[in-house]
Amino acid sequence: MNFEGLDPGLAEYAPAMHSALDPVLDAHLNPSLLQNVELDPEGVALEALPVQESVHIMEGVYSELHSVVAEVGVPVTVSHFDLHEEMLWVGSHGGHATSFFGPTLERYSSFQVNSSDDIRQIQSLENGILFLTKNNLKYMARGGLIIFDYLLDESEDMHSLLLTDSSMLLVGGLQNHILEIDLNTVQETQKYAVETPGVAIMRQTNRFFFCGHTSGKISLRDLRTFKVEHEFDAFSGSLSDFDVHGNLLASCGFSSRLTGLACDRFLKVYDLRMMRAITPLQVHVDPAFLRFIPTYTSRLAIISQSGQCQFCEPTGLANPADIFHVNPVGPLLMTFDVSASKQALAFGDSEGCVHLWTDSPEPSFNPYSRETEFALPCLVDSLPPLDWSQDLLPLSLIPVPLTTDTLLSDWPAANSAPAPRRAPPVDAEILRTMKKVGFIGYAPNPRTRLRNQIPYRLKESDSESDSFSKVTESPIGREEEPHLHMVSKKYRKVTIKYSKLGLEDFDFKHYNKTLFAGLEPHIPNAYCNCMIQVLYFLEPVRCLIQNHLCQKEFCLACELGFLFHMLDLSRGDPCQGSNFLRAFRTIPEASALGLILADSDEASGKGSLARLIQRWNRFILTQLHQDMQELEVPQAYRGAASSSFCSSGDSVIGQLFSCEMENCSLCRCGSETVRASSTLLFTLSYPEDKTGKNCDFAQVLKRSICLEQNTQAWCDNCEKYQPTIQTRNIRHLPDILVINCEVNSLKEADFWRMQADVAFKMAIKKHSGEISKNTELALADWKELGSPEGMLRCPSIEELKNVWLPFSIRMKLTKNKGLDVCNWTDGDEMQWGPARAEEEHGVYVYDLMATVVHILDSRTGGSLVAHIKVGETYHQRKEGVTHQQWYLFNDFLIEPIDKHEAVQFDMNWKVPAILYYTKRNLNSKYNLNIKNPIEASVLMAEASLARKQRKTHTTFIPLMLSEMPQAGDLVGLDAEFVTLNEEEAELRSDGTKSTIKPSQMSVARITCVRGQGPNEGIPFIDDYISTQEQVVDYLTQYSGIKPGDLDAKISSKHLTTLKSTYLKLRFLIDIGVKFVGHGLQKDFRVINLMVPKDQVLDTVYLFHMPRKRMISLRFLAWYFLDLKIQGETHDSIEDARTALQLYQKYLELSKNGTEPESFHKVLKGLYEKGRKMDWKVPEPEGQTSPKNAAVFSSVLAL
């Protein structure tokens, strides 16, 4: 508030709300009062302050009950009665907060909130207290522990805050905007522009937000949009205070005079019903604060800074007899507040004293306060002191309870052995940013750990694959320790932080600014996400997989095609491979190969991810190859047979990845055996030489492809096992060369590191001539080397480090069945020309397309990421541009990277696992058209898997040929789910629950209802989904699913496979129908479907107002349709049909969306009714539920 008009010195205490008013505290204070312990050299105690004694309290008349010192000599800037407990909070000009308990003002807690700025407003919440300073919002427990500390921009000058609901907060100040902050996520959610800057005071009623400005204006803003609805020009100078009660708004302030600002003794009062001013109220004090105190009447309390207080009615006349005086210790009153019960008034003065005035001898601050927790008293003080210097002092004087059990200290010697704890390693971020002055290092605190708290671990659990990854413990001398490393932030394992809304408020866009889709990692066995992305960005594989469709229930090729279709439709939103991984878990070979991890192993990172993903790579190529070789294609799925890829003898997976070879076995007797075979990938075999000489990647690759080894084999000539020499000759090279790196131990890692060092030295010589070993190349010299005088840009030193892998390799099949392999660079292409006639001469150039790497991070257990070169066709579809770019795919984190980053492997934390090379012009060899293999026949009638299903249990009628849906047709949809895995959560120290892993749901029933035509409202799909996985909870109360409904042996429902029902929904989506339902976002997520937003009509959003709660289908049906649904359990037919009726009601109320204003009034009435009813539907008088009666009668009639 502004004190300039009263006394020139007042502005020194008030928070600076005008540029001309700068607080100068020391010039106005008594120096003797600035001492915290003594008031003068004679040592007068704090109790000797001249605080007025308590007087007899007369019932119904406010009198001073107690006075107390908060902080000697430091002005009190704000006071606040706690809304939950019997406490009074005060904040000082020095940033210190103090709380007092009860009407006796016993000191409860005292702590520093800000080291330099004054506290400007206090707001109590259920779990703590909010403190607002100039540019800082701090949430602290009542005992002083920090819950969060939110720093605002340094240019902000905040003065007021307003709690709009339990989790949303508005913060305003001298700038031209107001911030909205979510207290759950501690993030800024909105920034509202303010036409008149300087919001000093904010109030709220059920109609408006009220903003008081330093210019003297008061603006009334809409609760939903924050737009200005009305504005009162109250005072010409500045606004001091205002309050709202019922239909009245009262304000006090300053008026402009010739000599400056003067306090106006007329209170401006406004009628909020007519939005106009009524007769001003003249008072007999200089008003600085005012509050409504509505007890029996709506009286006003007007307070001046000199301590005068007057009560009067806002529409009556002020009586001088109603004035009483507060006797402050200091010359000025700085703050004033009224308790929620209106029984207590609090005043704070400029000398740090707090005065409590009440109208009863034993007042309460709140009507219903909860019990306050106090610290337990110290019991040690009541025990007699013991002198430990006396050797003969009997230890029996120490009180110990009598017990017959073994004492905790009576341990065996084996358990009492000393086990010293090693100091934990210093955070790598600290080491990276540290600057040394002499032998002392300085670094900013990364705040990754709580202060003075270190986790206690006796044993370090390092996985086998991380054995060659050690972090130094010394913070000094890191230049001398080349193995020191730190995992870059974008390569670290990403996790989803779940709130009470699940994933709805998680910001995936923060991790992915592209239009490509990431994959969510919280599903079991999602370690293969990076490999799914690699296969997706191979254009021939993507088209081939999406053209495939077979009748097998758990076909990985089909499920992968469905997942690729979702990745095609997504515009940056993440997808999840839940259905693909569900089919993956049913494959016996996957379990036999150890590819299916338990949840505990996956969470702890115990499995060797590098070995795991390489085995998975071999498995998936083999499995897809087998799935593509299926020749029996049913008529209902004949779209797959028309694929342009298919050939009669082999699958296209074989054409793309298969390498034809001749395996020759030569026995020492001279007999030779030749067998033809093929392989889908190669594994690198490293030489045994440890001399450190240069060894090109091409040489190692040739050694691995044309492998020669000595082994025991059967010889038909000798008729026994004999030592043989086995060699491998290549007959035909694949179009896509897949390589498993097999870097699984320290030996292979040292080989990669050594070859990268050799390649680095050779690259320096190539670009800069002969350089002596002891000479370092300066940065300026490298810039000269990279000047545009040369034809090619010279790479920087950072781009040359840790690089051994070439971007391109050249392979040539010789006439004598030999294979020549060499590294291929852009310079070689300029020298030899492009390999256009490669097919004729047997010369092939392969370009690096993807690298899958294992990230070693002991803090998170490690992870797998992929570098992928995304081709032109993908950019053309997603972004409308034609270019190639390398990207990093780390689950749902996608980020463009430089191409050199894809081949740089720092073996301390980034280990190569899989390489993908593709032939040049690969896409031109294949037909890349995708023909949707799903046809209308999937909607026709099909047999149930359940053995006991009878016709009398039929709850739906399949579509006839004349009813086939068209684009734009309405379909009512609802789904029910069961739980496969329970939610994993932890309880934090502050009592809040944090979700670590959400519950894993599985769809159990899907219902689709006709939305138009003569059979409108009759379902044409009502499928119960058979599951082979163990169900933890059937959720019968919410789903209507009972144990046995999903078991084909005993179920009487129409039971189908998930794939069969999935195809029906996919056909409806592809044909362009519009789905109507309630909460469809979660339904589609669990079903694992990506539906375009223009094909979804969700009633949960149609009948929703911004920043308000979502309304249940049951309440909407009762309010708009007069239907009482979901009585005992949920039924998907009933819910889908009700959603259709609600959509028709929406069109009726909004005139097909043409009258949003009238519909907005309907929604306001809905929310008002809901609040009155507590969102509960009244219980029906008779149990007459329209659940399935209409459906059964319609089915029987048809």
Using 50, 70 and 90 to split pLDDT, how confident is the model at 40? very low
| pLDDT, tens only, 308-358 | 999 888 887 777 767 888 888 888 899 999 999 999 999 999 999 999 999
Please give the residue that has the higher pLDDT: either 274 or 52.
Answer: 274
Task: Point out the least confidently predicted range of 121-130, 455-464, 703-712, 982-991.
Answer: 455-464
Extended beta strands in 872-924, E state: 885-890, 893-896, 910-919
What's the confidence (pLDDT) of residue 944?
Answer: 81
AA letter at 59: E
Q: Answer yes or no: is pLDDT of 471 > 80.
A: no
Which of the four pLDDT bands, split at 50, 70 and 90, describes residue 477? very low
**Torsions phi, psi for 624 (to 5 deg):** -65, -35
Q: How confident is the model at residue 911 (pLDDT cuts 50, 70, 90)?
A: very high
The pLDDT tens digits of the residues spanning 777-799 come to 444 444 444 444 434 456 678 88
Confidence of residue 147 (pLDDT cuts 50, 70, 90): very high
Q: Is the pLDDT score of 839 beyond 50?
A: yes
Per mean pLDDT, which range of 62-66, 220-224, 520-524, 1125-1129 is the poorest? Answer: 1125-1129
Top-confidence residue, 765 or 1122? 1122
pLDDT of residue 235: 92
pLDDT at position 430, please?
Answer: 86
**pLDDT over threshold 90, residue 617:** yes
The pLDDT of residue 840 is 55
d(CA 413, CA 1048): 61
pLDDT in tens, 988-1023: 666 677 777 777 888 999 999 999 989 999 999 999
Residues present in the chain in total: 1198
Give the pLDDT confidence score for residue 762 in this predicted structure. 86
Give the least confident one: 21-30, 90-99, 578-587, 908-917.
21-30
How high is the pLDDT of residue 649? 43
pLDDT in tens, 491-539: 988 888 776 666 666 788 888 999 899 998 888 888 999 999 999 999 9
Q: Average of pLDDT values for 450-464?
A: 56
Least confident of 4-8, 83-87, 269-273: 4-8
CA distance 51 to 507: 55
Per the CB < 8 A criterion, the answer to whether 686 and 748 are in contact is: yes
- Strand 1074-1077 vs strand 1096-1098: parallel, antiparallel, or unpaired? parallel
Confidence of residue 814 (pLDDT cuts 50, 70, 90): confident
Nearest to 572 by CA among 492, 511, 530: 511
Which pLDDT band holds residue 942 (cuts at 50, 70, 90)?
confident
Across 73-87, 231-245, 401-415, least confident range: 401-415
Encode 936-947: b = buried (16+ Cβ within 10 Å), e = exposed: eebbeebebbbe
Task: Supply the pLDDT for residue 601.
Answer: 64
Q: Are residues 77 and 118 in contact, defined by beta-carbon separation less than 8 angstroms?
A: yes
| Residue 223 tokens, joined | 């609760």
* Percentage, residues of the chain above pLDDT 70: 81
pLDDT number for residue 786: 41
Sign of the C-alpha dihedral computed for residues 92, 98, 99 and 104 taken in this order: negative
Nearest alpha carbon to residue 663 among 624, 695, 708: 708
Task: Give the pLDDT confidence of 1087-1118 residue by residue, as tens digits.
Answer: 989 999 999 999 999 999 988 889 999 999 99
The token pair that represents 307 in the structure block = 């301590």
DSSP for 1163-1183? HHHHHHHHHHHTT-PPPPSS-
Q: What pLDDT is attached to residue 376?
A: 73
pTM of the model: 0.59
At 1078, the pLDDT band (50, 70, 90 cuts) reads: very high
**Predicted local confidence at residue 1143, as pLDDT:** 93
Model confidence at 59, pLDDT cuts 50, 70, 90, reads: low
Whether the pLDDT of residue 20 is over 50: the answer is no
Q: Please report the pLDDT score of residue 523 as a whole number.
A: 84
Beta strands in 697-796 (DSSP E): 708-715, 720-732, 736-740
Top-confidence residue, 1044 or 39: 1044
Alpha-carbon gap, residue 986 to 186, rounded angstroms: 20
Give Cβ neighbours of residue 413 (< 8 Å, ≥ 6 apart). none
Mean pLDDT of 15-35: 39
**Exposure on the CB side of residue 977, measured as CA atoms within 13 A:** 16
Please, which residues bridge with residue 250 across strands?
A: 243, 269
Contacts of 616 (CB under 8 A, 6+ apart): 527, 528, 531, 595
Distance of alpha carbon 78 from alpha carbon 235, whole angstroms: 24
Q: Mean pLDDT throughout 62-88? A: 92
Average confidence (pLDDT) over 264-292: 92
Q: Alpha-carbon dihedral of residues 166, 169, 170, 172, nearest 10 degrees?
A: 130
What band does 195 get if pLDDT is binned at 50, 70 and 90? confident
Task: Among 157-166, 631-640, 908-917, 1138-1147, name the one with the lowest average pLDDT.
Answer: 631-640
**With 60 as the cut, is the pLDDT of residue 1139 above it?**
yes
pLDDT of residue 1045: 84
Residue 715 tokens read as 């010889």
As a whole number, mean pLDDT of residues 654-672 equals 86
Instruction: Using pLDDT thresholds of 50, 70 and 90, give the confidence band for residue 294.
Output: confident
